[in-house]
Chains A and B, each alone.
Chain A
């Protein structure tokens, strides 16, 4: 039996298991690439507009750090894909590394791999098939993305290089995942390790790009994501940079396949970390347990909101200048009450987006209740003196307070950066913070709807996501489709006063709070009266 026997069968199995997830990834990523390129291209149709745009980016360290540099201000292609080349590549990296871990270490940990390993299966088959799955996914993404960019009217060579940027990044992080899958016994830790390699790559490139001409811009060259950017699609098309990703992939895969050939099934390089033999004194209530289970996720979201808030705050002032020179937006600008009206509208929209994200956090935090229930871990807690309402309130409180924290952090960071850039902290910070706070009742309504679903119709608790999607679509498409006001009024976000530009109205806010409280109470009462399981 050779080391690769059975690889094809495993590949087929993997593609079958991912038959929903992979097309979804490919669709979203392709749509993002082509959609962004199309809209940016039509917005900056003159050379002068593109120069202004590039200059604006060059002056804003937040843009440079988050999205990278514009290498050719004259190139319509370079401007069109600037926003998605690095951020999109990072998404492709996430897709690829999750895929590889899912079909290697995660299967090994769950014992599924042991089941198939007893058949005719080579030692390297699982790793090989996982990498082939990732390669297939990346190729399937490459074709429509490149074709879409060409169809939008961008140069062919540059579009192919752009496709290679994503393909190379995807395969580099598939290779990183192949290595981290050998290192630990747990799939979660392997994911975490690979994601932190991605995080470090992103940071190195962010520092390098934001450093300016005198700073340590060489840092970008230490990062795989920096190489992606240095391929410079539409701005020189530097094919030779591909040597770096290819070498990186060869080294990682060589190491991974050597390790997989030498270690035992189930074993990792790094021994699993042990936990404490005794619980700390504070882990003594169901609320402490809920906090322990959810704090890591909340921390990650908080960091995300701090960064997003800061970026949005830094962009607010540039909104006018970024779009300033195109004719269509000039009209828009006038209608919105000049530059300050534009900035206010931007901030209000930005806080609305943060509120939708905070609602997503709240929904998933409430869903933890159902996961604990169906995973039969709730049983162990509810067989003690903890009551049902108390237990459910613990997780519900984390959803409500956690989403509140997120909005405060996002608003605070946006306000601080917006204030610092304008040199007017005293008025700008409270303005922005208040526009974040006023969104909270709508966010709570989403949490409360999910709590009500959990308590009253637990089988349909996932409909919480559907409700959020409907509200999102109402907000995005409602004005475009000219929906009737009563339809728009279904979404709680319609009722949030559009601060800082609009006037504050308290009645709708109070009503939202009342609705959230009533739904929460209904959910908790329903849970007290229903069967568990």
Chain B
């Protein structure tokens, strides 16, 4: 399998601010890749470099086998982009914008466009100035999804959509992936990332701090366990890998490093287990851990 996007050691500075500080990102062909990070961590800057809108200071960037700065126009024939903050021309209708962007990219499939308009419940006759934020995003989404581009770059595409439209969007992305397309999805909506993404990269302050499949990432984190035991456990809190423990007689609540589960469970069985629930870490927890680190750094 080849990589649709491979970025390593990417640096970009604006004056004195170092927006990207050695960022790495690899998106394999055919996968949906989640791109996560707090506000101002460099997601949009990375995307704008991938589109050849900004020139990197240093680092290696390959997009669909080419250099995004030098080969911008040839590469752009093969990708579609939804910006995070969609602005439209006030006196062009949504339908006109969709058609125009499609033609500039090399042609839209009119049937696909009609189907998407219906699914997103978008009125293409309204003028740009009359659309709400969510509807402007729908215009950009329909334009991108109606193209036959092999790579979709979506920068927080659903921040203005309601839950029903979010659902429609998720189904569309799954269809795109099943059709063999690659998607880079920058997002703040973790349930969306959990539902859609094969792999994720988490960035912070212009650097990649985690990357891998959701399963990999979970492995690195903690599982929550709640159990009702037959007798009070001894020395449970002192076991390696046990973090927060709340032991109240025979009731225990634990946060356990996932790779230490074996030992902890053995210890619990020794005390006799009456009931047990365990929950894998949610992406929120994963995400919060990195965010909290950041807060602690400040």
Tell me if A480 counts as interface (CB < 8 A to partner B).
no
Contact of B76 among A109, A377, A384 (CB under 8 A): A384
Query: Smallest CB-CB separation from A382: which chain B residue?
Result: B53
Q: Is the CB of A532 within 8 A of B129?
A: no
Contact of B72 among A278, A380, A387 (CB under 8 A): A387
Q: Which residues of B contact A507 (CB under 8 A)?
A: none
Range, interface on chain A: 35 or more
Nearest CB on B from A274, distance (A): 4
Q: Which residues of A contact B103 (CB under 8 A)?
A: 279, 283-285
Beta-carbon contacts of B77-106 to A below 8 Å, as 1s and 0s? 101110101111111111111111101111
Contact of B95 among A109, A278, A285, A377 (CB under 8 A): A278
Q: Which residues of B contact A9 (CB under 8 A)?
A: none
Tell me if B54 counts as interface (CB < 8 A to partner A).
yes
Tell me if A293 counts as interface (CB < 8 A to partner B).
yes
Nearest CB on A from B127, distance (A): 5
What's the Cα separation between A276 and B96 when bound, in Å?
Answer: 7
Tell whether A272 pairs with B130 under 8 Å between CB atoms, given A279-B95, A384-B101.
yes
Tell me if B55 counts as interface (CB < 8 A to partner A).
yes
Tell me if B290 counts as interface (CB < 8 A to partner A).
no
Q: Is the CB of B51 within 8 A of A383?
A: yes
What's the Cα separation between A185 and B129 when bound, in Å?
Answer: 10
What's the Cα separation between A531 and B127 when bound, in Å?
Answer: 30
Tell me if B202 counts as interface (CB < 8 A to partner A).
no
Q: Which residues of A contact B54 (CB under 8 A)?
A: 531-533
Q: Is the CB of B93 within 8 A of A387?
A: no
Tell me if A386 counts as interface (CB < 8 A to partner B).
yes
Nearest CB on B from A50, distance (A): 50
Q: Is the CB of B125 within 8 A of A275?
A: yes
Nearest CB on B from A101, distance (A): 15
What's the Cα separation between A292 and B99 when bound, in Å?
Answer: 14
Q: Which residues of B contact A278 (CB under 8 A)?
A: 95-96, 99, 124
Tell whether A386 pairs with B104 under 8 Å between CB atoms, given A276-B96, A277-B125, A531-B54.
yes
Q: Is the CB of A379 within 8 A of B126?
A: no
Tell whether A385 pairs with B104 under 8 Å between CB atoms, given A274-B126, A279-B96, A380-B81.
yes
Q: Is the CB of B99 within 8 A of A283?
A: yes
Q: Which residues of B contact A533 (CB under 8 A)?
A: 48, 53-54
What's the Cα separation between A493 and B129 when bound, in Å?
Answer: 41
Q: Which residues of B contact A388 (CB under 8 A)?
A: 72
Nearest CB on A from B143, distance (A): 8
Tell whether A379 pairs with B55 under 8 Å between CB atoms, given A275-B93, A278-B95, A385-B106.
no
Q: Which residues of B contact A277 (CB under 8 A)?
A: 93, 95, 124-125
Q: Which residues of B contact A386 (CB under 8 A)?
A: 73, 76, 104
Tell whether A274 pairs with B73 under 8 Å between CB atoms, given A279-B99, A286-B104, A385-B106.
no
Q: Is the CB of A284 within 8 A of B96?
A: no
Nearest CB on B from A439, distance (A): 32
Tell me if A119 counts as interface (CB < 8 A to partner B).
no
Q: Which residues of A contact B55 (CB under 8 A)?
A: 529-531
Q: Is the CB of A376 within 8 A of B101?
A: no
Nearest CB on B from A509, distance (A): 36
Interface members, chain B 45-82 (any A CB < 8 Å): 48, 51-55, 72-74, 76-77, 79-81
Tell me if A521 counts as interface (CB < 8 A to partner B).
no
Contact of A383 among B76, B91, B124 (CB under 8 A): B76
What's the Cα separation between A381 and B53 when bound, in Å?
Answer: 11
Tell me if B193 counts as interface (CB < 8 A to partner A).
no
Query: Smallest CB-CB separation from B85: which chain A residue?
Result: A376
Contact of A379 among B53, B94, B98, B130 (CB under 8 A): B53
What's the Cα separation between A380 and B101 when bound, in Å?
Answer: 8
Q: Which residues of A contact B79 (CB under 8 A)?
A: 383
Tell me if B140 counts as interface (CB < 8 A to partner A).
yes
Nearest CB on A from B107, distance (A): 9
Query: Smallest CB-CB separation from A376: which chain B residue?
Result: B87
Nearest CB on B from A179, distance (A): 22
Tell me if A5 counts as interface (CB < 8 A to partner B).
no
A188, A272, A274, A530 — most chain B CB neighbours (10 Å): A274
What's the Cα separation between A482 and B128 when bound, in Å?
Answer: 53
Nearest CB on B from A514, distance (A): 30
Nearest CB on B from A446, distance (A): 26
Q: Which residues of A contact B87 (CB under 8 A)?
A: 375-377
Q: Which residues of B contact A383 (CB under 8 A)?
A: 51, 53, 76, 79-81, 83
Nearest CB on A from B48, distance (A): 7
Tell whether A276 pairs with B95 under 8 Å between CB atoms, given A385-B104, A532-B48.
yes
Tell me if A129 counts as interface (CB < 8 A to partner B).
no
Q: Is the CB of B129 within 8 A of A292?
A: no
Nearest CB on B from A87, distance (A): 30
Q: What are 29 A-B pairs at a CB distance below 8 A?
A: A274-B127, A275-B94, A276-B93, A277-B125, A278-B95, A278-B96, A278-B124, A279-B97, A279-B98, A283-B96, A283-B103, A284-B100, A284-B103, A284-B104, A376-B87, A379-B51, A379-B53, A380-B83, A383-B80, A383-B83, A384-B105, A385-B76, A385-B104, A386-B104, A530-B55, A532-B53, A532-B54, A533-B48, A533-B54
Extra inter-chain contacts (18) besides given A279-B95, A377-B88, A385-B104, CB under 8 Å = A188-B90, A274-B127, A275-B95, A277-B125, A279-B96, A279-B99, A283-B96, A283-B103, A284-B100, A293-B89, A381-B104, A383-B81, A384-B105, A385-B76, A386-B104, A531-B53, A533-B48, A533-B54
Closest 8 CB pairs of A and B: A275-B93, A279-B99, A384-B104, A274-B125, A383-B81, A279-B96, A284-B103, A532-B53
